[in-house]
Amino acid sequence: MVAKENVNYIVGYNEMDGRKIPVVSTRLDCSDKIGAVKVRLALSRMDYSVAPGLYCVGSPAKESPVFVTANYKLTFDALRSELSGIDCWILALDTKGVNVWCAAGKGTFGTEELIDRINIVKLHDVVSHRKLILPQLGAVGVAAHLVRQATGFSVHYGPVRAADIPKYIASGFKKDDEMRRVTFTMSERLTVVPVELVMAWRFIAGVIAFCFAINAFAGNAFRRKFIRDAVTALGGIFTGLVAVPAFLPYIPGRAFSVKGFFAAAAWLLSAGVGFGFSAREWIANSLVVAPMTSFLALNFTGATTYTSQSGVTFEIKKAMKAMKYSFILGIVLKIVSKFGKD
């Protein structure tokens, strides 16, 4: 990766033993904020990164603490914006522009990269102590005892969230239970929704095209029937993509496919009563929409902070077949019903 020159977050350089170490700002400016919004809307996902290596905040000395982070710019920004007034070092690992938790899962935020990066930046010469502060979620990829064996640096896992760092420092580098816990608040859940929506655009376009096609020969009733079908189907999709994440804790069930099923039922009831579904519509629409919503809810497991691989695998094995057959049968009924009389 090429070092990025003239970037907005570097405000100067500190000279140290003949080396120039970039100093970063602790304020996020306009371009940082616009960049974050673009990433959240999936407008520019790729290569939102900073150059891996060593950075300064303020005027750190040999005794100053070292914070290790990922080179995903959103992560780097979250960290530096919490460090105002603190003289310290930031060591950005090369995680290929991916956040700490995901990178740790893949191993790029890992033992090997940390050891390499310590040696590349000659951290032994920069600081006199042998202590590193890592984000707690990095523990998925880093084995603290192996880093110590290889480099002499002891790894201390700090808080999960960068926002807790000032409190963590103030309490003498001690974590309380709250700093350790991963959360999944309403705003955290909704933050990941726009990306999911943008990613689903092909699917949404396909659904609209299908609703258009099956009603193409409806003549005068085209408009009414098309809108009815499209609203019912899109409502089911939005229920899975937006309502399930938003109301996650309040929807019954632990399994996401079950939560999705309940949410679909609520939507189908509202749509059915609102439009005055015929018996045929009740059956076909339910068979199509319920598995769609349920699948989208299941797909949201990837964005959560608490689902296990064994649990999701179990759900998939139990639910996927039923979803598939229900969906196919519903689609067939939907098409066939268009040739009969409503």
Partner 1 sequence: MENGMRYLGETIKLELDREKCTGCSMCVSVCPHAVFEMAGPKAAIIDKGACMECGACAKNCPAKAIESGAGVGCAYAIISGMLTGSEPSCDCSSSAGDGKKSSCCG
- Which one of 142, 165, 289, 292 is in contact with partner 1 (CB under 8 A)? 142
What is the rounded distance in angstroms from the CA atom of residue 241 to the CA atom of residue 243? 6
192 binds partner 1 (CB under 8 A): yes
- Which one of 28, 39, 150, 333 is in contact with partner 1 (CB under 8 A)? 39
Sheet holding 66-70, edge to edge: 10-16, 19-24, 53-57, 88-93, 66-70, 131-134, 154-157
167 binds partner 1 (CB under 8 A): no
- Give the burial class of 2: count Cβ atoms within 10 A of its Cβ; 0-12 exposed, 13-18 middle, 19 or more buried: exposed
Number of residues this chain uses to bind partner 1 (CB under 8 A): 66
- Which one of 227, 313, 335, 336 is in contact with partner 1 (CB under 8 A)? 313
What is the rounded distance in angstroms from the CA atom of residue 152 to the CA atom of residue 162? 25
DSSP secondary structure letter of residue 83 = -
- Which one of 43, 61, 182, 190 is in contact with partner 1 (CB under 8 A)? 182
97 binds partner 1 (CB under 8 A): yes
Supply φ then ψ for residue 285, to 5 degrees: -65, -40
* CB of residue 324 to partner 1, shortest distance in Å: 12
Tally of CA atoms within 13 A in the half-sphere of 253 that contains its CB: 17
Residues 292-320 as b/e (b if ≥16 CB within 10 A, e otherwise) read bbbbbbbbbbebbeebeeeebeebeeebe
* CB of residue 126 to partner 1, shortest distance in Å: 25
Q: Are 92 and 52 in contact (CB under 8 A)?
A: yes
Q: Which stretch binds partner 1 (CB under 8 A): 24-32, 53-61, 191-199, 325-333?
A: 191-199
Q: Are 193 and 241 in contact (CB under 8 A)?
A: yes
- Which one of 315, 326, 330, 334 is in contact with partner 1 (CB under 8 A)? 315
Q: Which is nearer to partner 1, 12 or 249 (CB)?
A: 249
183 binds partner 1 (CB under 8 A): yes
- Which one of 5, 15, 63, 177 is in contact with partner 1 (CB under 8 A)? 177
- 225-264 binders of partner 1 (CB under 8 A): 248-250, 254-256
- Which one of 312, 323, 327, 330 is in contact with partner 1 (CB under 8 A)? 312
* CB of residue 144 to partner 1, shortest distance in Å: 5
Q: Are 173 and 191 in contact (CB under 8 A)?
A: no
Q: Are 98 and 76 in contact (CB under 8 A)?
A: no
* CB of residue 46 to partner 1, shortest distance in Å: 5
Q: Are 262 and 248 in contact (CB under 8 A)?
A: no
User: Which residues would be at the binding site for partner 1 (CB under 8 A)?
Assistant: 39-40, 42, 45-47, 49, 74, 96-99, 101-102, 104-106, 136-137, 139-145, 157, 160, 175, 177, 180-185, 191-192, 195-196, 199, 248-250, 254-256, 298-299, 301-316, 320
